[in-house]
Chains A and B, each alone.
Chain A
Amino acid sequence: MKFAVVVFPGSNCDHDAYHAVKHVLGQDAEFIWHKDTSLQGADVVVLPGGFAHGDYLRTGAIARFSPVMQEVTKFASAGGPVLGICNGFQVLLEAGLLPGAMLRNRSVKFQCEHVSLRVEQTDTPFTVECHAGQVLRIPIAHGEGNYYAEPDVIDRLETNRQVVFRYVDAGGAATSEANPNGSAHNIAGLCSEARNVVGLMPHPERACELAIGSADGLVLFESVVKSVGRGAFATVR
C-alpha cells in the first residue's frame, strides 16, 4: 500500500508523516512535490503539517492553488482517502474539500501541548480501527486552529456526523477548559460528506511511538491500511 506525502514549500511535518507510515507502519511512502501533477498511483494521500507558502495571506490560502491540489481534489472526488494534518487540514478548508475556516487561537498564542481527543465517528477510513468514544492523547502545535463555520453549517456537520474528533478532558468530556483554541463545538477534526476526506489539527504522526511519549496516533494510519486493504474506499487512479 502506498502513501503519498505532499510537500509544499514550508511543509515541516512531511518527514514525520513519511517516518510514521514507512518506518513505523512498514508501508510504502513517497514524497510528492506540490508542483507535481501526479500522485504516483498512491492509495492514500497525506497533506502534512507546517507552514505551506509561509502561511502568507491566510493559512492554506496559497497552497490550495498548488498544481498538485487539482490531483488531490480528483483523488478525493473519486473516493480516495485523504488525511490533512494541521496545516494540511487548513489547506483542505481553503480548497473547499472540507467546510469552514480557521481563526487565530482564542488565546492568541501558539498552542503546543498534548491534548485528549475523543473519537466521535468510526466509519471514516482513518478511524475504522478506533472504538466510538475512544480518547487519544495526541499533540497539537498551531496558532490558527480555532475552527469556525456559520451556525447552520455546524448544525449540518453534527447532523451528518462529520465531526470526527473533539477536544475533551481526561474524563472524555468536551468542556470549554479542554478546548485549546476556541473551536466551535470543541471540533478538532472533520470528515467530508462522503467521509473519505478527513482533516484534524492534532498531529497523529507525531504520536506513533511510545519512545516519544504516545503511540495513540498510530491507529489512524492502521485504520486506513485496513480500509484500503479491504477495498472499502475504492479509488480511481
Chain B
Amino acid sequence: MRARVFVTLKPSVFDPQGTTVAEALHSLGFAAVKDVRQGKYFELDLDASSAEEARRLAAEAADKLLANPVIESYRIEVAPDAKEAGR
C-alpha cells in the first residue's frame, strides 16, 4: 500500500516562502498567478493489508511527526500500489 501525505500551512498562517515564490513568478511574467502556498509531500510505502489500515497508519504518522498541528494541516491519499498511485 502507498499513502501520499500532503502537508500545508494552515490558511491563517503567513507563508514567507510561498510569497517569495509568487514574487519570483510575477517577475517572470506569470501575471495570472495570484498567490502561492508552499507545502511538503510525502510518499509512504506501507505494509498494510487494506486501504483503511494504510490511511490510519499515515494519519498516525502525520499527527505524530510529519505535520505540526500548530501551523500545518494535512491530506492523505491511499492507493493499492505505486502504479495505481500515479507512477
Contact = CB atoms under 8 A, between A and B. Distances in A.
Interface of A: 57-58, 61-62, 65, 93-94, 99-101, 103-108, 146, 148-150, 182
Interface string B1-17: 00000000100111111
Interface stretch (B51-59, B65-73, B79-87): B65-73
B20 interface: yes
Contact of B16 (A58, A94, A99, A105): A105
Interface of B: 9, 12-17, 20, 65-66, 68, 70-71
A61 B65 contact: yes
Contacts of B71: 101, 103, 148
A107 B20 CA distance: 9
Contact of A106 (B9, B12, B16, B70): B16
A58 B68 contact: yes
A223 to B, nearest CB: 29
A58 B15 CA distance: 14
A156 B66 CA distance: 27
B17 A108 contact: yes
Contact of A57 (B13, B15, B16, B66): B66
Contact of A148 (B17, B20, B70): B70
Given A101-B71, A104-B17, A108-B16, 18 more contacts: A57-B65, A57-B66, A58-B68, A62-B65, A65-B65, A93-B70, A99-B70, A103-B14, A103-B15, A103-B16, A103-B71, A105-B16, A106-B14, A107-B16, A108-B20, A146-B16, A182-B14, A182-B16
